[in-house]
């Protein structure tokens, strides 16, 4: 299935299934949200994932879920952009630092009303998938894995930057779903994110999501991970 330019789609992957996000037609960045398909309260936690793995994810890294669950939701098993590493400016791909583009920041800084930021695309897609009101769907949208996006922090002042993504048609990132997943992917209005977000100016392309269901995961030893073993009493 295809996430159209400046829009988002949802998809479901059973635990043990494989899903792949691929570049087609042209360089394009995607914003990915993940939920436990059976409980939307368990969702991707960028901050903890960043603390455990670093600012950018690649093969072997896992996407961790929110408290009180804190378990791997998905593990990256293949990344065709792993050759990029970190460039001379400190930039790398697939970040968990840049949140998602949203209409609120544009309105704050420039007074704009733009409706196809990733935040809005993800909100519409989730509302459609679950047949719920936009306002409710919006409360479930969270910070993303910035698939294919090239970002970093400037070495001298530590400020966030983005630059043109090295992704080209044929590149992909592939995951195993550790639990039953509901995913949403937005094809960012920033395109390859070399210039601006939050407008229709950038060249923008679709992103392909492919799902491969496997019965027992990657090997006979694979098991869906349990939720956190903390007893939840918080000292009381
Ligand atoms: Zn975006």
- Tell me how far apart the alpha carbons of residues 80 and 111 are, in angstroms, rounded to a whole number: 39
pLDDT at 226: 95
The proportion of the chain whose per-residue pLDDT surpasses 70, expressed as a percent, equals 96
Does residue 194 sit in helix, strand or coil? coil
Q: What are residue 103's phi and psi, to 5 degrees?
A: -75, -20
Q: Calculate how far, in angstroms, residue 206's C-alpha sits from the geometric centre of ligand 1.
A: 13
Would you say residue 169 has pLDDT above 90? Answer: yes
- Tell me how far apart the alpha carbons of residues 215 and 24 are, in angstroms, rounded to a whole number: 28
Q: Calculate how far, in angstroms, residue 221's C-alpha sits from the geometric centre of ligand 1.
A: 37
Would you say residue 217 has pLDDT above 60? Answer: no
Q: Calculate how far, in angstroms, residue 118's C-alpha sits from the geometric centre of ligand 1.
A: 4
Q: If 0-12 CB within 10 Å is exposed, 13-18 middle and 19+ buried, where does residue 38 land?
A: exposed
How large is the average pLDDT for residues 93-104?
A: 94
How large is the average pLDDT for residues 215-224?
A: 70
- Cα torsion 129, 131, 135, 139 to 10°: value is -50
β-sheet bridge partners, residue 75: 62, 176
The proportion of the chain whose per-residue pLDDT surpasses 90, expressed as a percent, equals 88
Q: Which of 144, 118, 141 is nearest to 130 (CA)?
A: 141
β-sheet bridge partners, residue 35: 43, 182
Question: For the chain, what are the domain ranges?
Answer: 2-212
Q: Which of 94, 89, 67 is nearest to 78 (CA)?
A: 94
Q: Calculate how far, in angstroms, residue 71's C-alpha sits from the geometric centre of ligand 1.
A: 26
Q: Calculate how far, in angstroms, residue 57's C-alpha sits from the geometric centre of ligand 1.
A: 18
Radius of gyration, CA atoms only, the chain? 17
Concatenated DSSP letters of 122-149: HHHHHHHHHT--HHHHHHH----EEEEE
pLDDT tens-digit profile of 143-159?
Answer: 999 999 999 999 889 99
Q: Which of 66-80, 85-99, 140-154, 192-206 has the lowest mean pLDDT?
A: 192-206
Q: Calculate how far, in angstroms, residue 225's C-alpha sits from the geometric centre of ligand 1.
A: 30
Tokens 């295809």 map to which residue?
2
Q: Calculate how far, in angstroms, residue 17's C-alpha sits from the geometric centre of ligand 1.
A: 26
Q: Calculate how far, in angstroms, residue 119's C-alpha sits from the geometric centre of ligand 1.
A: 7
Q: Calculate how far, in angstroms, residue 222's C-alpha sits from the geometric centre of ligand 1.
A: 34
pTM, entire model:
0.95
Q: How many CA atoms lie within 13 A of 49 on its CB side?
A: 31
pLDDT at 193: 85
Q: Calculate how far, in angstroms, residue 101's C-alpha sits from the geometric centre of ligand 1.
A: 4
Q: Calculate how far, in angstroms, residue 11's C-alpha sits from the geometric centre of ligand 1.
A: 18
Q: Calculate how far, in angstroms, residue 52's C-alpha sits from the geometric centre of ligand 1.
A: 24
pLDDT tens-digit profile of 193-203?
Answer: 887 766 778 88
Would you say residue 1 has pLDDT above 60? Answer: yes
Would you say residue 139 has pLDDT above 60? Answer: yes
- Tell me how far apart the alpha carbons of residues 64 and 96 are, in angstroms, rounded to a whole number: 11
Would you say residue 206 has pLDDT above 70? Answer: yes
- Tell me how far apart the alpha carbons of residues 6 and 187 are, in angstroms, rounded to a whole number: 5
How large is the average pLDDT for residues 57-84?
A: 97
């Amino acid at each position: 299935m295809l996430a159209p330019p400046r829009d988002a789609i949802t998809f479901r992957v059973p635990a043990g299934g494989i899903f792949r996000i691929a570049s087609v037609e042209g360089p394009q960045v995607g914003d990915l949200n993940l939920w436990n398909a059976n409980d939307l309260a368990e969702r991707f936690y960028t901050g903890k994932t960043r603390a455990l793995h670093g600012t950018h994810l690649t093969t072997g890294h896992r996407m961790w879920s929110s408290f009180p669950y804190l378990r791997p939701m998905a593990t990256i098993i293949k990344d065709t952009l792993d050759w990029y590493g970190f460039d001379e400016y400190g930039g790398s791909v697939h970040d968990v630092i840049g949140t998602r583009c949203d209409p609120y920041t544009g309105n704050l800084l420039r007074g704009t009303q733009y409706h196809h930021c990733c935040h809005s695309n993800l909100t519409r897609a989730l509302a459609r998938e679950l047949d719920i009101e936009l306002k409710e769907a919006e409360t479930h949208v969270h910070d993303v894995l910035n698939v294919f996006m090239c970002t970093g922090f400037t070495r001298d002042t530590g400020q966030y930057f983005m630059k043109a993504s090295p992704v080209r048609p044929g590149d992909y990132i592939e995951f195993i779903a550790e639990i039953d997943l509901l995913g949403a992917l937005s094809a960012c209005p920033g395109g390859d994110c070399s210039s601006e977000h939050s407008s229709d100016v950038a060249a923008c392309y679709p992103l392909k999501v492919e799902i491969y269901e496997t019965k027992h995961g990657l090997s006979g030893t694979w098991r869906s991970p349990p939720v956190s073993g903390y007893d939840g009493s918080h000292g009381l």
